[in-house]
């Protein structure tokens, strides 16, 4: 800024030159305490021009008070970089630089800030989002107990209202903690226990399915080498109709919206990951990604409502049986426990492969996880989307809890889908590289007999098999299914790799 003012703009009277800062006949090395550019001398040197700022900083800043007392603390060049690199403090580069400088001293605050929406959005280049100096001011940073502080409870409405003009009228919103540390014993017990529950749920689900699927993978590889799986996906037919067109399109909407939610949400979840900012830039920036994320959320609520309507129409209006119990139901029953135990014995080479009915136990888990996920991610997301509305009815700590639930449940959902669900459906040796049935709605009769023997037996015994037999799917439909499926799986695997890279850097980097 000084160089541009002096050399480019011709402001020779207003802009400082070399001697303005270093002196003329009293030049000392910068490290010398007597140097005008030394740490304790820099406020006087800078204040020769910035008189109003210096006065304000001296009289109404904790940093200035430390300096006046002769104690070591932040001075002008601590925040504004060295004398030869002073940049416009309102620029995007400097706004992203400042939190790191504040964090050199305020270590706990920077941890909580970088874990907040404000911190993550700032890291991703969203410069209009609040950062340290927006709330604490750059030259009047006083403790919250000081009545003059911008973060004093009496002044919070004015401070937060600069961005949240409509929300600050709600008492609940004003008790939201922007610097919460959920693992800190001093944090509210509600927030801490929700954090512990979500962490335990995430680790528990991942540990269980890692063991389950590892055992499955090694047994399936052996079975593949032994020739135990004879049926494939292709062939002339006949084929069995398993899914209606409505169910196919419903699943396509699920896949599409989920991928959009993942690629727009994961960069925010792992904002410091090496790939996060590049992904955000591809999406058009953090603001654009937020709009896409909300659009995908609306689609999610839409397909969820459509499915509930389909169940209601079938079970209540048409009076069809078996939606809530029995072989066609997605509700777990004793047979699922038996199948699970039978599979474990099969994986360990001490039993035969269990006879699966229309739905397998892992498919029911996937299905019910959607209900849990939409409820947890959806409702917490709505709270974060409309904090002012919900703050009329809930205290501020509930918004903190919603942030934890939304973030951790989203990680659980994306990690589970992109690792375990993909394995169960497409990547296990019996189905590799992809099972197109959910996109075509049909599967070869021989594969149907091999994978769903009990359902096949029931259709034969009730003489209904014939009405489910259909010709092989058209080549164009099969091609479209594979193209869409491979793109979805590739995007999901790339996201899974990104999650591993981010977690590795977070814990070991």
Cβ contact 132:353 at 8 Å: no
Structural domains in the chain (count): 1
Q: Is residue 428 part of a domain?
A: no
Q: Is residue 422 part of a domain?
A: no
10 Å Cβ neighbour count for 316?
10
Euclidean distance between CA atoms 295 and 292, whole angstroms = 5
Q: Who's near 71: CB < 8 A, 6+ residues apart?
A: none
Q: Which pLDDT belongs to residue 266?
A: 96
pTM of the model: 0.88
SS3 content of the chain, % helix, strand, coil (to 5): 60, 0, 35
Q: Is residue 23 part of a domain?
A: yes
Half-sphere exposure of 271 (CA within 13 A, CB side): 20
- Give the structural domain span for 27: 1-86
CA nearest to 217, candidates 452, 55, 423, 31: 423
Q: Is residue 9 part of a domain?
A: yes
Q: Is residue 21 part of a domain?
A: yes
Rg (CA), the chain: 30
Dmax over Cα atoms in the chain, in whole Å?
106
3-state helix/strand/coil string of 176-229: CCCCCCCCCCCCCHHHHHHHHHHHHHHHHHHHHHHHHHHHHHHHHHHHHHHCCC
Q: Which pLDDT belongs to residue 171?
A: 83
| Chunked mean pLDDT (size 10), the chain, 509 residues | 66 69 79 78 85 86 87 84 72 79 87 90 86 87 89 90 86 88 89 95 96 97 90 80 93 96 95 93 91 96 93 89 89 95 96 94 93 93 93 92 95 95 93 91 93 94 93 92 95 96 87
Distance between the two ends of the chain, CA-based, in angstroms?
35
Q: Is residue 37 part of a domain?
A: yes
Q: Is residue 50 part of a domain?
A: yes
∠ CA(284), CA(380), CA(180), 5° rounding? 90
Q: Which pLDDT belongs to residue 439?
A: 94
Q: Which pLDDT belongs to residue 165?
A: 87
Q: Is residue 27 part of a domain?
A: yes
Q: Which pLDDT belongs to residue 321?
A: 87
Query: Phi/psi of residue 363, each to 5°?
Result: -70, -35
Cβ contact 19:45 at 8 Å: no
């Amino acid at each position: 800024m000084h160089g541009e003012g002096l050399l480019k703009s011709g402001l020779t009277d207003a802009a400082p030159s070399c001697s303005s800062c270093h002196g003329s006949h009293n030049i000392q090395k910068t490290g010398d305490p007597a140097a005008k550019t030394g740490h304790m001398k820099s406020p006087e040197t800078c204040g020769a021009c910035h008189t109003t700022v210096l006065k304000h900083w001296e009289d109404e800043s904790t940093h200035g008070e430390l300096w006046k007392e002769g104690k070591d603390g932040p001075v002008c060049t601590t925040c504004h970089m060295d004398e030869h690199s002073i940049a416009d403090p309102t620029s995007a580069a400097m706004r992203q630089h400042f939190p790191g400088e504040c964090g050199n001293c305020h270590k706990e605050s920077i941890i909580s800030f970088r874990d907040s929406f404000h911190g993550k959005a700032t890291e991703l280049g969203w410069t209009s989002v609040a950062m340290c100096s927006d709330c604490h001011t750059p030259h009047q940073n006083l403790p919250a107990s000081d009545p003059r502080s911008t973060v004093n409870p009496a002044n919070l409405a004015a401070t937060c209202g600069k961005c949240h003009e409509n929300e600050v009228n709600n008492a609940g919103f004003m008790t939201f903690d922007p610097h919460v540390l959920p693992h800190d014993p001093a944090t509210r017990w509600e927030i801490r226990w929700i954090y512990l529950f979500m962490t335990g749920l995430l680790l528990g689900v991942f540990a269980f399915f890692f063991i389950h699927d590892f055992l499955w993978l090694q047994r399936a590889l052996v079975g593949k080498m032994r020739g135990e799986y004879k049926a494939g996906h292709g062939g002339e037919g006949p084929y069995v109709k398993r899914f209606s067109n409505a169910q196919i399109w419903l699943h396509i909407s699920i896949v599409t919206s989920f991928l959009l939610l993942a690629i727009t949400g994961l960069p925010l979840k792992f904002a410091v990951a090496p790939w996060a900012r590049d992904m955000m830039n591809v999406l058009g920036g953090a603001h654009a990604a937020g709009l896409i994320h909300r659009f995908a959320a609306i689609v999610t609520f839409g397909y969820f409502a459509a499915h509930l309507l389909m169940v209601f129409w079938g079970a209540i209006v048409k009076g069809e049986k078996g939606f809530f119990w029995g072989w066609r139901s997605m509700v777990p029953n004793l047979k699922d426990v038996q199948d699970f135990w039978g599979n474990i014995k099969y994986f360990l080479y001490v039993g035969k492969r269990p006879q699966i009915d229309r739905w397998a136990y892992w498919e029911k888990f996937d299905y019910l996880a959607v209900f849990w996920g939409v409820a947890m991610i959806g409702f917490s997301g709505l709270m974060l989307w409309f904090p002012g509305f919900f703050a009329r009815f809930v205290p501020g700590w509930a918004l903190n809890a919603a942030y934890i639930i939304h973030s951790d449940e989203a990680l659980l959902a994306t990690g589970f889908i992109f690792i375990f669900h993909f394995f169960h459906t497409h990547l296990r040796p019996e189905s590799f590289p992809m099972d197109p049935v959910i996109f075509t709605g049909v599967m070869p009769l021989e594969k149907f007999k091999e994978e769903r023997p009990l359902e096949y037996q029931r259709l034969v015994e009730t003489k209904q098999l014939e009405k489910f037999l259909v010709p092989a799917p058209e080549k164009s439909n099969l091609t479209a299914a594979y193209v869409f499926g491979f793109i979805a799986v590739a995007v999901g695997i790339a996201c899974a790799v990104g999650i591993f890279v981010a977690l590795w850097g977070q814990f070991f980097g």
